Amino acid sequence: MHFLNIRSSALAVAMLGLAAPAYAQDAICGGLGAGGQWIGGDEASSDITTADTYQEQMALVLGGNDYVSLFSVSEGTDVRIEAAGRGAGDTVIDVLDSTGSIVTSDDDSGGNGASRAETFLNPGTYCMSLRSYDGGPMTAFVRVGRQEHEPLTEGAMETSSARDSGGCEAATPMGGLGSTVSGSAADSSHWSFTLDAPAQVSVTAENESADPVITLYGPNDMYIDENDDFDGYNSRIDVTDTLDAGTYCIAVSALSDDTQPITISVSEYDAEAALQSLYARGEAAPPLDGSVEVSDLGILESRIRQDVQATDDVKWFTIEVEDNSLLVVEAIGGGNSDPWLVVYDDLGREIGQNDDYGDGLDSMVMARVQSGIYIIGVRQYDSNNGLIRLLAERYVRAQ
């Protein structure tokens, strides 16, 4: 295949990433499963509930694209989902249900840059989406199994307080909904809060210098959920199922510095605020109904350039592609600017996401696309403000 007016070295990497075979139906995980591969080799062998042992794959992540593994559970099952990069590879995983909603995410809970998520899944089909933390190419192993199966990773917090509910008996009370406290993980590894009435809750832990991990337990040390790196290095747990009145425990640990103070907050879950937060972080595509500010850059004939005064909240743009093309989108920073980039189609399916393409801090997404509307999100990776030059180019097949 030949393309006109294109940088050959960049396209070589892109086309390798696009050449991976697709074994899944387009409808799985809201469309994300279209490029995925069944973890057991085929659908029948990928039922983790009935598998004799864990299922594993080698994953090749290229060109800023995610690697997607598909699996299912035929009845409610406690599962362990892991990814470990080879060499210095730093993995990040998202686990999505059949509708494409994120069930859980993880960055470093496997230890040494590996990812590990342990959760209870109801019957259904699921996707594990793997990407490189820095957006660069990476080879990794992915593994999905039940709790009794051999783990792939060491588990960074396996012996720490964040995986040990035993400290809940001596947890420091912090009040009820609306409470905020601060303390280091070394001094205060467990906090408790009380619900006077049934409620949905959000628990946050903030201080990126500490890199906190939080685990939420219910009465009788019942595990509810865990999170690391929800927003940067900060952590957040949103419990959308209504919790009964009672006392709950938050176990806290720090991956970087356990002497740094961590701010812990408990509030009532706000579905609309949570949705707006997803849009602000670029983890979901905004609706094109005017409720979120989206700038229309028009039809992409060959090349569009747009300067963006960016912050750490995503700014959104749309372009229209009229013919099947190779779409190349770049976010180019200057000085201390560190851009982050994501591209969705108009149905909200992620086309590509990238940070730090190649040896620099600039970002690039390349994908073969059909005619349609595409949504581009760009932000600063850190909390700095700065100018980002957004570039979108379209390349067509040579005649």
Q: How sure is the predictor about 156, in pLDDT bands with cuts at 50, 70 and 90?
A: low
CB atoms within 10 A of CB 115: 31
- pLDDT single digits (tens) 2-20: 333 333 333 333 333 333 3
**Poorest-pLDDT segment among 19-33, 283-297, 330-344:** 19-33
Domain ranges of the chain: 20-156, 161-269, 285-395
pLDDT in the model for residue 26 = 60
Domain 285-395 class, CATH top level: mainly beta
How much is the pLDDT for 63? 60
Cα separation, 8 vs 10, whole angstroms: 6
Specify the higher pLDDT residue, 32 or 260.
260
pLDDT confidence of residue 341: 93
pLDDT computed for residue 14 by the predictor = 37
Given pLDDT bands bounded at 50, 70 and 90, which one contains residue 164? low
Please state which of the ranges 16-20, 159-163, 320-324 shows the lowest mean pLDDT. Answer: 16-20
Is the pLDDT at 260 greater than 50? The verdict is yes
Q: What is the CA radius of gyration of the chain?
A: 21
pLDDT at 65: 75
Which of the four CATH numbers 2.30.40.10, 2.60.120.380, 1.10.150.20, 3.40.50.300 does domain 20-156 have?
A: 2.60.120.380
The 3-class secondary structure across the chain, one letter per residue, is CCECCCCHHHHHHHHHHHCCCCCCCCCHHHHHHHHCEECCCCCHHHECCCCCCCEEEEEEECCCCCEEEEEEECCCEEEEEEEEECCCCCEEEEEECCCCCEEEEECCCCECCEEEEEEEECCEEEEEEEEECCCCCEEEEEEEEECCCCCCCCCCCCCCHHHCHHHHHHCEECCCCCCEEEEECCCCCEEEEEECCCEEEEEEEECCCCCEEEEEEEHHHEEEEEEECCECCEEEEEEEEEECCEEEEEEEEECCCCCCEEEEEEEECCHHHHHHHHHHHCCCCCCCCCCCCEEEEEECCCEEEEEEEECCCCEEEEEEECCCEEEEEEEEECCCCCEEEEEEECCCCEEEEEECCCCCCCEEEEEEECCEEEEEEEEECCCCCEEEEEEEEEECECC
Task: Tell which residue, 332, 306, 338, 333, has the closest CA to residue 319.
Answer: 306
pLDDT score of 228: 84
| CATH class belonging to 161-269 | mainly beta
Q: Which amino acid is present at 27? A: A
pLDDT bin (cut points 50, 70, 90) of residue 383 is: low
∠ CA(337), CA(17), CA(331), 5° rounding?
20
Least confident range from 105-119, 149-163, 343-357: namely 149-163
Question: At residue 296, does pLDDT exceed 80?
Answer: yes
> In Å, what is the CA distance from 171 to each residue of 166, 183, 197, 249, 253?
9, 13, 21, 7, 14
pLDDT band at 220 (very low <50, low <70, confident <90, very high): confident
Q: How far is residue 192's CA from residue 352's CA, in Å, rounded to a whole number?
A: 40
Report the range of poorest mean pLDDT among 54-58, 253-257, 379-383, 389-393: 379-383
How far is residue 381 from each of residues 219, 333, 341, 378, 390, measured CA to CA in Å? 38, 11, 9, 9, 15
- pLDDT at position 335 is 67
Which residue reads 């307080």 in tokens?
Answer: 161
pLDDT in tens, 174-205: 999 999 999 999 999 999 999 999 999 999 99
Mean of pLDDT over the chain: 86
Tens-place pLDDT, residues 23-34: 334 678 877 788
Question: Does residue 136 have a pLDDT over 80?
Answer: no
pLDDT for residue 321: 96
Length of the chain: 399
- As a whole number of angstroms, the distance between CA 261 and CA 346 comes to 42
**Residue 62 pLDDT exceeds 80:** no
Place 155 in a pLDDT band, splitting at 50, 70 and 90.
confident
Read off the pLDDT of each residue in 75-92 and give the average, rounded to a whole number: 90
